[in-house]
Copies of this chain bind each other. A is one copy, B any other.
Amino acid sequence: MSQKYVYLFADSRAEGTGKMKDLLGGKGAGLAEMTNAGLPVPPGFTITTEACTAYYAEGEKFPEGMWEEALAALEKIERSTGKKFGGTENPLLVSVRSGAKFSMPGMMDTVLNLGLNEETRAALAELTSNERFSYDAYRRFIQLFSKIVMGIDAEKFEHKFNEYKKKLGVTEDTQVGAENLAELIEDYKAIVKKETGRAFPTDPLKQLELAIKAVFASWNGKRAKDYRRVHKIDDNLGTAVNVMTMVFGNMGEDSGTGVAFTRDVATGEKIIYGEYLQNAQGEDVVAGIRTPKKIAQLKEEMPEIYEQFSQVAERLEKHYKDVQDLEFTIERGRLWMLQTRNAKRTGSAAVRIAIEMVEEGLIDKATAVKRVEPAQLDQLLHPMIDPKSPVEVIAVGLPASPGAAMGKVVFDPDTAEEMGKNGEKVILVRTETSPEDFHGMVAAQAILTSRGGMTSHAAVVARGMGKCCVAGCGDVIVDYANQLFTVGELTVRKGEWITLDGSTGRVILGQVPLIEPEVSGHFRTLMEYVDEFRKLGVRANADTPHDASVARGFGAEGIGLCRTEHMFFEGDRIDSVRQMILSSADYKALEAQLETAKAEVEKASKDKKPAARKRVKELEKKIKRPSELYIGALSSLLELQRGDFVGIFRAMNGYPVTIRTLDPPLHEFVPHDDQTLKDLSKKIKMPFKEAKARVAQLHEFNPMLGHRGCRLGIVYPEITEMQASAIFEAAVKVKREGVVVKPEIMIPLVGNVNELKLQADVVRRVAEEVFARENERVEYLVGTMIELPRASLTANRIAEVAEFFSFGTNDLTQTTMGLSRDDAGRFLPFYVDKKIFPDDPFQTLDQEGVGQLIDMGVKRGRSARPDLKVGICGEHGGDPESVIFCHKVALNYVSCSPYRVPIALLAAAHAALADETGATAAATTA
């Protein structure tokens, strides 16, 4: 039996249905559905995706029977419309469009007015009593067909048209009359002949055949193939072809064309929203030559049509249970629906529509949750640039931290702080930022850097603060000496206004109106729905009591990562940190010597004892100063950290707080300019030369792989002791206030279980000491970051000691891929651009590689400790796709920056709902 390749839709009856997207493509299925629903759809037919596949299987030939079926369908359309394809009285013209299952860039555009030639054009002229209209239609058809089907550069036609306009001394297309258009058409045909060596086809059936083949060909065009490769779409799906009767919105004042949405896709308000143009074709609406009217005006101008349209709109929305994006044409007072599809919408509209549709009983809560994309929430959480305002974009960098902000350009943190104190809005512009710029970043509205990637210091800190940041904007050349930056020829000086869009990476000259975010009642309702479905916990990365409060406000269920060192830069506490670091090595060395010397006194024979004792005395004298410095610094840091933890514990009353012990290499804290170091050495009375030597000694070739993480705490256990004391003393204090406190101490950069053992021993010992001293206990956990491949590989060993894991996916990505996030800017954009990597792995988790190590880490960890709590605290914790992965590999929670908590919550709900769908599908199959 021969296969059916062509599906007719005409006269309220379609051979296909809305469910047949695989066979008819999205567009064809929609047209069938509308036709079956009795809506006014111009008759037409869809050639199936299977025809396309067969076309390729048979060496680019139409499969047997297809063309005959198409001709038969065409005949039925002729019967339905009373028109005739190629007819010289009432000619049938058609549009031809591609329509794959997924819409795909690179696929063929629409060819309109197919079927025109000199004869049919003349008939059209007569029929419409409009000579110019017929010539214009023919001109447009030749131009479009030549470009799309025959592959001739459109520029050549435009160029010819422009010559005419120039000659005629006019500027608008519409000012070119029928006679000139007729001449132009001859010129167009000459161009086609010259470019292809063949005449422009005049046989409508030939035109149709070529157009269908062009659609099929576009399926295997380079862009479409690349797109499929990247998005992993099967090459064998094929595309459908939709052939539909042309209707004309440009047949006079009783005609028109428009697009409309069944609700306002900007705000979500339940109101038909759209635009139309009287006496115009679709192209004209898009071209923007004439200003379209609001759809509301249609109510006044054509009340009956409006009434009919609004009923159609309502039916379609109810039918599809979602907001529809509609295309329609009015031909001589008759409404035709050309397309319906689910409408794209802004984040806030998505939320409102989802909630209101639940309230209207149209959809259930699960559907409402699925209707909002997690990434869309981002818009709701940050100010945005008013899309209606014209902007002067001078450069585009990485969208490092979303939102928009404007301010005066400043180039150093001190000025930023000073101007900020005076109430001025500033934007801090740096080549890159370092922890020493922190106070300036706090004072600034936003940060712009010319170097560094999505996880550079600037980006990470800005995201943590929910502050707009554009990073790695290579076109911006910062000139600190002259306090200006340049972009090509343009110079922007200190004090000039710029606006940053951290959601798109745009750097904009001057001030631009911003739209403030509004966390509306609908948003809150959505989050309530979300909590009914999601299984994955969501915590926040928060380093200060303020961050902790913000995080709770957004619904965080605890802190998944508190980076103790981020507190080190507040106020002048950095001095204590530096004092600790500068004195540490000296202290440790002398301490070791002293220990040996003391042991030697014990062992020494009587005659050698005095000398040995003398040595001890000398060392005791020598260690006094470093000891004062080191122990002094540690104890002042203890005070400060204890205070911080008290604030954080209070803010997180009842929720767990995961505190990471000191992680970054020490050289990140010390000053690298001589003057600051001189001031510091004066302040702490340490010889400058010594301080300088210590700073030099801290230099590392690859600090990322250097002396950091638990390796610090192992060599300097006093630092871990100090931090543990601060945590437990704070915990005991707030417990007495009635706060429910759940500290989780997290040891970073563990690669070998022995490292964790040593550090966990220190933490547990200090805990017992504090509890004994205070006569009060708190429950706590000791766990580790899993951020090295070796930690994942030996997770079963590590879980013997660790009570919880938290995947540090930033560092795990760096080590697994051998990719420094600070340096990758030189090739990573190139890699992502050329699709060598599917995504920036620092934004979206590399599931194929890093994901394997996470899965392995979870499984092996739980093999040793079945109740092991596992989370993730890298940047990926706030990336929807990565959150869904985390759900799949059965993590207990994700942790992300406070401002991304709602996004993670929603993504978690999506993941859980996807499970249910999968489960239902499985149940049905079984």
Interface of A with B (CB < 8 Å)?
Answer: 155, 158-159, 162, 603, 605-606, 700-707, 709, 711, 714-715, 749, 751-752, 754-755, 758, 787-790, 793-794, 797, 811, 814-820, 822-824, 826-827, 830-831, 835-837, 846, 848-850, 852-853
- Note all chain B residues with C-beta closer than 8 A to A701: 703-704, 820, 822-823
Partner of A703, one of B702, B706, B788, B846: B702
**How many copies, total?**
2
> Do A818 and B827 touch (CB < 8 A)?
no
Q: Which residues in B have their C-beta under 8 angstroms from that of A850?
A: 790
Q: Are B817 and A702 in contact, CB atoms less than 8 angstroms apart?
A: no
User: In the complex, which residues of chain B have a beta carbon less than 8 angstroms from the beta carbon of A714?
Assistant: 827, 830-831, 836
> Would A849 and B705 be within 8 Å (CB), given that A603-B155, A817-B788, A836-B755 are in contact?
no
CB pairs A–B below 8 angstroms (6 shown): A701-B704, A705-B818, A715-B826, A715-B827, A751-B817, A751-B819
From A751, A754, A758, A853, residue with most partner B Cβ within 10 Å: A751
B811 with A705: CB separation less than 8 A? no
How long is the Cα–Cα vector from A751 to B836 in the complex, in angstroms? 10
How distant is the Cα of A837 from the Cα of B790 in the complex, in angstroms? 13
How far in angstroms is the closest Cβ of chain B from A170?
18
Looking at the assembled complex, report how far the CB atom of A431 sits from the nearest CB atom of chain B, in whole angstroms.
Answer: 11
Given contacts A705-B704, A705-B823, A837-B752, contact A818 B790 (CB under 8 A): yes
Residue of B nearest to A700 (CB): B823
Selected contact of A702 from candidates B704, B749, B754, B852, CB within 8 Å? B704
Whether A705 touches B707, Cβ cut-off 8 Å, given contacts A790-B816, A819-B751, is: no
Q: Which residues of B contact A752 (CB under 8 A)?
A: 836-837, 849
Q: Are A702 and B822 in contact (CB under 8 A)?
A: yes
- Return A673 CB to nearest CB of chain B, in Å: 17
Query: How far, in whole Å, are A790 and B814 apart by their CA atoms in the complex?
Result: 10
Residues of B within 8 A of A819 (CB): 705, 751
Across the interface, which residues of B come within 8 angstroms of A158, CB to CB? 605
Interface residue from B155, B790, B820, B846 paired with A700 (Cβ < 8 Å):
B820
Given contacts A703-B702, A752-B836, contact A794 B155 (CB under 8 A): no
Bound form: Cα–Cα A544–B714 in Å = 43
Chain B, Cβ-Cβ closest to A705: B820
* CB <8 Å contact, B811 and A788: no
CA A705 – CA B841 in complex, angstroms? 14
- For A823, give its contact among B707, B749, B797, B835 (CB under 8 Å): B707
Among B707, B751, B830, point to the contact of A827 (Cβ < 8 A). B707
A159 to B609, CA, bound (A): 13
Give min CB distance, A498 to chain B, whole Å: 25
One of B705, B789, B837, B849 near A794 (C-beta < 8 A): B849
Question: What 7 A-B pairs have minimum CB-CB distances, sorted nearest first?
Answer: A705-B820, A702-B820, A790-B849, A706-B823, A789-B789, A701-B822, A788-B818
Chain B residues with CB below 8 A from A754, complex form: 835-837
Contacts of A849 in B (CB 8 A): 751-752, 789-790, 793-794
Among candidates B706, B818, B836, B853, residue contacting A749 with C-beta atoms closer than 8 Å: B818
A703 cross-chain contacts in B, Cβ below 8 A: 701-702, 823
State whether A707 and B826 are in contact (beta carbons under 8 Å apart), knowing that A700-B820, A815-B816 are contacts in the complex: yes
Report the separation of the CA atoms of residues A705 and B842 in the bound assembly, to the nearest whole angstrom.
14
